[in-house]
């Protein structure tokens, strides 16, 4: 461990991707001191359906953060969690999770890979393409 690591703050970046959750912990100079990742569990409950369990996704994020903090501790950085100045998280594009009033997931995460909506998208393009372009700028 470099002595400068003992007294500085760190940033943890998390990528919740299609293939898995990856994370890394960085010093303020951009040097990576820890990284960890684990695979996603894509579920296929019916034809054309691709979903994920939101609870599994959430717990994957927690495991990745914990692994990064444990790696920092193994390098002699004590109380690493208290030295994290920021947590940056990004997620998959175009997926959706239904959430209840209590903030908890009430549906699986419908992945952007899920193609069950394809017939509806084609119908929307056929019937409302100009309206969609006018309001959203893209269809």
Q: Is the pLDDT score of 2 beyond 60?
A: no
The token duo for 133 is 């372009």
* Poorest-pLDDT segment among 31-45, 57-71, 106-120: 106-120
86: three-class secondary structure by DSSP? strand
Instruction: Give pTM, 2 decimals.
Output: 0.81
Set out the domains of the chain in order of their start, with CATH numbers. Answer: 3-136 (3.30.420.40)
Q: What is the pLDDT of residue 6?
A: 60
Q: Is the pLDDT score of 15 beyond 80?
A: yes
Q: Is the pLDDT score of 86 beyond 60?
A: yes
Please classify residue 119 by burial: count the beta carbons closer than 10 Å to its beta carbon, then call 0-12 exposed, 13-18 middle and 19+ buried. Answer: exposed
Greater confidence (137 vs 116) lies with: 116
């Amino acid at each position: 461990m470099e002595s400068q690591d003992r007294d500085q703050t760190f940033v943890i970046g998390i990528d919740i991707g299609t293939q898995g959750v990856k994370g890394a912990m960085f010093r303020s100079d951009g040097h990576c001191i820890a990284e960890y990742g684990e695979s996603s569990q894509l579920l296929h409950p019916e034809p054309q359906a691709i979903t994920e369990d939101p609870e599994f996704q959430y717990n994957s994020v927690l495991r990745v953060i914990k692994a990064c903090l444990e790696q920092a501790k193994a390098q002699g950085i004590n109380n690493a969690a208290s030295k994290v100045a920021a947590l940056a998280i990004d997620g998959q594009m175009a997926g959706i999770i239904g959430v209840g009033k209590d903030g908890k997931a009430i549906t699986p995460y419908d992945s952007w890979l899920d193609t069950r909506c394809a017939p509806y998208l084609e119908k929307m393009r056929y019937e409302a393409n100009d309206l969609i372009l006018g309001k959203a700028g893209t269809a």
